[in-house]
Structure 1
Amino acid sequence: MSNDILIWGAGAIGGTVGAWLKRAGYDVTFVDIDGAHVSRIKDPDAGLHIIGVDEFTVTAPAFTPAELSGRWRRIFLAVKAHHTAEAARQLAPFLQPDGYVLSLQNGLCESAIAAVVGEDRTIGAFINFYADWIAPGEIHYSNRGAAVIGELHGEMTPRLAALHQDLRHFEPDVMQSDALSSWLWGKLAYASLLFAQATGEKGIADCLARRDIRPVLTQLAGEVVQVADAYAIPLRGFNGFDPEAFRPNASADRIDRTFEQMVAFNRPNSKTHSGIWRDLAIRKRPTEVDGQMGVVAAMAAARHLSSPALNALIALIHQIEAGERPLSDHNLSELLP
């Protein structure tokens, strides 16, 4: 049997993309560790219900990893960054020899996938749409955002072109790029602001609009930008985020403008808080801070770069995860010099 798409991780990202492709007529199978979620997706009387930008329900084959058998031509990996290596090892036996894994994740996960299945069987993606797993069988997709796919070696291949056409059923403006790292690192710099938001009570737009903490937000993103520069990775902006505003010589007007544009992008969204905040405040589980910001901090240390704001933010989030510190809008004020 020639299976087409296996969604490994049917949460906010994987569930949303998979549901759109299933509705478009693709052969989609879901895998998730949440048995109740799996049961709902495959139940003809329930299914996977998407709300938000659009509202619809799909029913599809769904399994826990222990129940799965067969091989797939394409596996879309959509687990948290810190679960990437383990998930890649689990999914490898289910990937066809000529198939590939698409990383639908935040962070720099492609290298961990390639270490297991091979670089030639790995495709990367940058995504900036917002979605939340609400309950078993229910996902809230709040807004469209920038999306880019690319081969790890930067070539524009026929399989990338074919994937691009497929993903347009979900995001019509998805792009192909020969410089995926530029987008991934741009997202990491922006993600530093989302991790900062997650430590408080205000939503994304309200946090980005705060003048009192703008110096620490600017320093956080600036430290990510300096690491990218040290590794000679040019950065791309998106959805109001301008990486040039976080360089040491950036003008106050440019800094204010990018914050205004980011607030304008986030303000209309029905998803007001980041998924990181939901991990801390709602789901009470560890965040991706080590798999994203921790990786950047380690790369900074390897080049003897100072990243005090990032290190302090990582420590702060660990304290919240451990129940040693409450979520508070005052948390970021403590990171100010």
Structure 2
Amino acid sequence: MTDGPVLVWGAGAIGGTIGAFLVRQGHEVVFVDVDAAHVEAIAAGRLAITGPVATFTVGAPAFTPETVEGRFRRAILAVKAHQTAAAIRALAPHLADDGAVVSAQNGLNEIEIAAVVGRRRTIGAFVNFGADWQAPGEILYANRGAVAIGELDGAPSGRIRAWHALLRDFEPDAELTDDILAYLWGKTAYGALLKASAVADMTIAGFIGDPALRTLNVALVREVLAVAAAEGVRPRGFNGFAPEPFARDDAAGIDASIAAMVAFNAGTAKPYSGVWRDLAVRRRPTDAAAQLAPVLAAARRHGLATPTLDHLVALIGAVERGERAIGRPLAQELCAVAEGKAG
């Protein structure tokens, strides 16, 4: 029995980019997305990848969740974190008994996926490339970034080696890791900076590199790292982000990591975070709270305070509801919390 087509559930920035490269490399791919116009464009051969990394157009079978049929041994779930619960329930009937779902998402969504399809059929993945959905059939691939995949228990297996080989047809430097949770927690710590840059209405590089915001940046990262440590996870770094100096409050090491993160993000065609795009451009709810929910829940279990993360989530919620506007005042408000000066 062959593995059959790869089911890509969520054909936006992440799923659309990965899937398009797999199609170009000769793999059979079936796309599923809730945007009917996007689905129509893909099925008509008009899935265009644009930007400085690559420019090409492909097509493949594409369906909305209500119209897709069949069962698949290989599935990539690439929806926003807050869409995970609904998406995995819709995907589950299409997953073969001996199949597996790879979570190519931001956040710790593997927990929610495993609760529906089982831990045995759940595989963790980490992605840090830059991409943005522009319009139906058009995705900007802004910059390459670290990619890793691994079994949740870290055990080597034939299927994980096959998945790794598949991902390398998208990102040649994709890593096969025995500690995928370390990458996911590392991305969550780094991701807190990206979320804060969104409420500040600043580019990622500008926010991380602003000396006036250094205390805020350090507080956000260290709160996530403290929870990770309580969970028994030692986060891994990538693309300039080095968790270790933040964890041990090594000022020189933190400065070096900040400089490296600024350099990485300054060289991308996607200067703003995805959360910023949702708030400022698409004017829709973000997945920020969903990404941080497992962290905050774990913090409560361990009796850890996360005031800066809590306030960040609250501010994003207020912006989504139209009660606040993104901008420098929100960054200053977060700084006051990070510095313990909030009233």
Q: Same fold (TM over 0.5)?
A: yes
For 1:1-20, what aligned pairs fall within 5 Å after superposition? 3-20=4-21
**Paired residue for 1:174?**
174
Q: What whole-Å deviation, never above 9, does each CA across 1:143-174 have from its counterpart, x for those lacking one?
A: 11111101112101011101111111110011
Partner-residue secondary structure (3-state), 1:318: helix
Paired AA for residue 37 in structure 1: H
Paired AA for residue 270 in structure 1: A
Q: Distance in 2 between matches of 1:187 and 1:223?
A: 13
- Tell me if the contact between 2:150 and 2:176 (Cα under 8 Å) persists in the aligned partners: yes
**Aligned-residue RMSD, C-alpha:** 1.2
**Paired residue for 1:38?**
39
Q: Distance in 1 between matches of 2:3 and 2:260?
A: 45
**Paired residue for 1:71?**
71
**Paired residue for 1:146?**
146
Q: Distance in 1 between matches of 2:273 and 2:231?
A: 28
**Paired residue for 2:313?**
314
Q: How many residues align?
A: 334
- Tell me if the contact between 1:124 and 1:150 (Cα under 8 Å) persists in the aligned partners: yes
Identity %: 51
**Paired residue for 2:92?**
92
**Paired residue for 1:330?**
329
Paired AA for residue 28 in structure 2: D
- Tell me if the contact between 1:294 and 1:314 (Cα under 8 Å) persists in the aligned partners: no
Partner-residue secondary structure (3-state), 2:313: helix
- Tell me if the contact between 1:2 and 1:71 (Cα under 8 Å) persists in the aligned partners: no
Partner-residue secondary structure (3-state), 1:57: strand
Partner-residue secondary structure (3-state), 2:131: strand
Q: Distance in 1 between matches of 2:311 and 2:94?
A: 40
- Tell me if the contact between 1:31 and 1:65 (Cα under 8 Å) persists in the aligned partners: yes
Q: What whole-Å deviation, never above 9, does each CA across 1:117-153 have from its counterpart, x for those lacking one?
A: 1111111101111100000000001111111101112
Q: Distance in 2 between matches of 1:259 and 1:81?
A: 26
**Paired residue for 1:135?**
135
- Tell me if the contact between 1:89 and 1:116 (Cα under 8 Å) persists in the aligned partners: yes
For 1:67-216, what aligned pairs fall within 5 Å after superposition? 67-216=67-216
CA shift at 1:82, angstroms?
A: 1.4
For 1:184-333, what aligned pairs fall within 5 Å after superposition? 184-247=184-247, 249-333=248-332
Partner-residue secondary structure (3-state), 2:276: helix
Q: TM-score, normalised on structure 1?
A: 0.97
Paired AA for residue 305 in structure 2: S
**Paired residue for 2:28?**
27
CA shift at 1:2, angstroms?
A: 7.0
Q: Distance in 2 between matches of 1:111 and 1:154?
A: 15
Q: Distance in 2 between matches of 1:188 and 1:5?
A: 27
- Tell me if the contact between 1:20 and 1:170 (Cα under 8 Å) persists in the aligned partners: yes
Paired AA for residue 49 in structure 2: I
Partner-residue secondary structure (3-state), 1:206: helix
Q: Distance in 2 between matches of 1:187 and 1:206?
A: 19
Partner-residue secondary structure (3-state), 2:199: coil
Q: Which of 187-196 and 285-294 deviates more?
A: 285-294
- Tell me if the contact between 1:3 and 1:71 (Cα under 8 Å) persists in the aligned partners: no
CA shift at 1:281, angstroms?
A: 0.7
Q: Distance in 2 between matches of 1:195 and 1:229?
A: 22
Q: Distance in 2 between matches of 1:220 and 1:245?
A: 14
Q: What stretches of structure 1 move > 3 A for 4+ residues in a row?
A: none
Q: Distance in 2 between matches of 1:2 and 1:111?
A: 25
Structure 1 residues not aligned, in runs of 5+: none
Partner-residue secondary structure (3-state), 2:211: coil
Structure 2 residues not aligned, in runs of 5+: none
Q: What whole-Å deviation, never above 9, does each CA across 1:247-301 have from its counterpart, x for those lacking one?
A: 2x42221111111010011101011101111011111111112211232122111
Q: Distance in 2 between matches of 1:97 and 1:270?
A: 41
